[in-house]
Structure 1
Amino acid sequence: MVNTDLLRKLDAAIAEKNLLKHPFYQDWQAGKLSREALQLYAAQYYRHVEAFPKHLRVLAARTEGPLQGLIRENLAEEENPAGPHPKLWRDFAAAVGVGEDDITCCPALPGTQAVVQKFREICGDRPVAEAVAALYAYESQVPEVATTKVDGLKKFYGVTQPEGLAYFEIHEEADKAHRAAWRGWLEEHADGNEEEILKTANEALDALWGALDAVHMAKPTETH
């Protein structure tokens, strides 16, 4: 089974809601973010980064065979003892002036809560094909987003130390493999209601966009 039509529709949805089109990332690329906005982003988005391995673990427990292997490989990278990805994110946060206490004490904005809850629901409760489509919709964008972030951090925001960039530099390459793996599985094995698969992927895309909305639209009094 080759699901070329499904993938075409998924790719069209991803292109339409590509995160690099979001005003927050547009401002990032143009050097227009205030330091406070960057700090708020670092504190808020950590919740998604920290929760992501948990989502993968839950999904892995619901699968078997080659797909479970793909998920466990992804999870092993996330939890690499030499550099767990949540720790690498905290290093980035520190590089823009956000300490551990700032991350812990900063209340989650509604959009931040929503993206964590949405991926938890999708990976825990939705049909497996829908969960994989959602992960593809997310991780397929990460390499280009990561490159843009690294460029902006170096050029505009004074972040040049390796530890401040490591999270993004790792994802520039790692998620190219993840993108190919999710796509390959969907192409050969995705069975189920195509309409529901696309609906779930769009829900994930909307939640990711909403997490950026939350930071972009936050009032100055909400920044840290």
Structure 2
Amino acid sequence: MNFKKNIEDICTRLDGVDLFGVAPIERFLDLPENKRPTNLLPDAKSVIVLASQVFKILTDKLSVSNKVGEISYRDIYNAHNETVINDLRQTGYRVARYLTNKGFTSINLGQDLTDYRTISSIFSFKYAAVAAGLGVIGKNGLLITPIYGPRIKLTAVITEAPIEPDAVNAEDPCQDCNICIKVCPSGALKEPEQDQRVNHNRFVCNSYYTASGGCGLCMSRCPR
């Protein structure tokens, strides 16, 4: 049975997804055991990653300024995000239900799985998206896709169904670009060391984001 084509049909029919990819479970073996998909579904065979764009016109207007009387686009941006995330959750549920009804146990993971004690996730959507060929992790620590850059939201479905995987994207979107590092107001982003892909202090980032009421410059200023 062509699961992949049917999943694509679900995503297209519901119109809540712009990109989707599939990763085989073997691509997660480098992760710690408690971060692997099999920690949530022991007999998992595939991870399906769904992505929807966040409108660039809204991210371009994000600002850390809180001047009295200045127009704030953050409320509009947040409302837009909520709509995107809700659509993704609905589509992820429909995909998981379809596979479950075909006899393959599946779990749709919603959107936010962050453990705020460590500011880390019990399952990384970004890692899964890289494994599914949707993009690569940039110097800003965000998934960067060829079409939408970092302006996306993600969700995932873990399933026991064996589904044809997508090729991993090997493109380096950052190369010599350091814009996100230069504009980061908290200093949480640094030039990666020789053995690093990202040099991001998530605790500094989260503290600044919370104290200032938001940020997002590493996303909005990304030229991709």
Compute the TM-score of the two structures, normalised by the length of structure 1.
Answer: 0.27
Bigger radius of gyration among the two? 2
Compute the TM-score of the two structures, normalised by the length of structure 2.
Answer: 0.27
More strand by share: 2
More helix by share: 1
